[in-house]
Structure 1
């Protein structure tokens, strides 16, 4: 069995619950994080706004490797991914969190009848990764920019 097969054989996905929040606090080197999201707080905000929110904790055995949070639009035509973050510390799924997060999010979006997946304010350093996955950079219209203060999206039609 090669390293990739071994890493995926021990992959599990769960909801972001207290166990994941505790692993985030204990396992991640917070000095190396590229994103300064407060995941428990952001999760509660999204959950209040949209009870049908999408969340995912990506694990390799007992190591929390990544987190994903999003919500469908009111008409469920789009799934907005608010955040994807990988554990900055070394782990067996390093470099694979974004593809896993995108694939699982696309599958969920398809399942609930969405026509598109929108990554909200994607990390500029990952635009090539998103493009390879079929996403296209899109600037928000005036309403989205004014009301939500959004700068950009990366979108993919399903």
Structure 2
């Protein structure tokens, strides 16, 4: 191996470690802030992704079924483009309660959340998931120096209303379809 390549590899490994440390800091923030709920926060494992893909068959209302596959997203986010990723798994004990994936823009000005989902059955955090996910995402965005948080591709008008109530501003395409919602930081 030549010297240049070794230096590049060292820098790459340091970058991976830097973003992993930022995510770990966020997980600790979440666990401290919500310690009264007895939840753990971590990155998404492949096992978590498999379990979350099974949630599709558990929803009573078909409009609540996610349009993505967590296992595919897991593979996508583990690659080179996912080094700066935001990923969050919320659990109580061994029970998976919610997942979220996102990624910052190239210059980290925007943190885009692409997928948020919770377990549909007996979720003790029902009604609190978005709050906790947004706390974690805000924390990560702050550590990155991001100026905006986007919730991308909302699944339904009900999700648009829920995100709007949380302070996000809808943005629509030329057909009037909401493509994402934005929260700006001062």
TM range (shorter): 0.7 to 0.9
User: 2:76 aligned with 1:76, yes or no?
Assistant: no
Aligned residue pairs total 145
Q: Deviations over 1:115-151 (max 9, x none)?
A: 00011111321222212221000125x8xx9xxxx95
Paired position in structure 2 for 1:154: 181
Paired position in structure 2 for 1:9: 37
User: 2:184 aligned with 1:127, yes or no?
Assistant: no
User: 2:40 aligned with 1:21, yes or no?
Assistant: no
Inter-CA distance 8–125: structure 2 relative to 1 (3 Å threshold):
farther
Contact 1:7 1:93 in 2 (8 A): no
Contact 1:60 1:93 in 2 (8 A): no
| TM-fit CA distance, 1:43 | 2.4
Inter-CA distance 72–88: structure 2 relative to 1 (3 Å threshold):
same
| TM-fit CA distance, 1:30 | 2.2
Inter-CA distance 29–7: structure 2 relative to 1 (3 Å threshold):
farther
Q: Deviations over 1:47-66 (max 9, x none)?
A: 43332111000112221110
Contact 1:79 1:109 in 2 (8 A): yes
Distance 2:65 2:51 in 1: 18
110-119 or 42-51: bigger deviation: 42-51
Name the structure with the higher helix share: 2
Structure 2 residues not aligned, in runs of 5+: 1-33
Contact 1:23 1:63 in 2 (8 A): no
Structure 1 counterpart SS, 2:163: helix
Structure 1 residues not aligned, in runs of 5+: 1-5
Larger Rg: 2
| TM-fit CA distance, 1:29 | 6.2
Structure 1 counterpart SS, 2:57: coil
Q: TM-score if structure 1 supplies the norm length?
A: 0.79
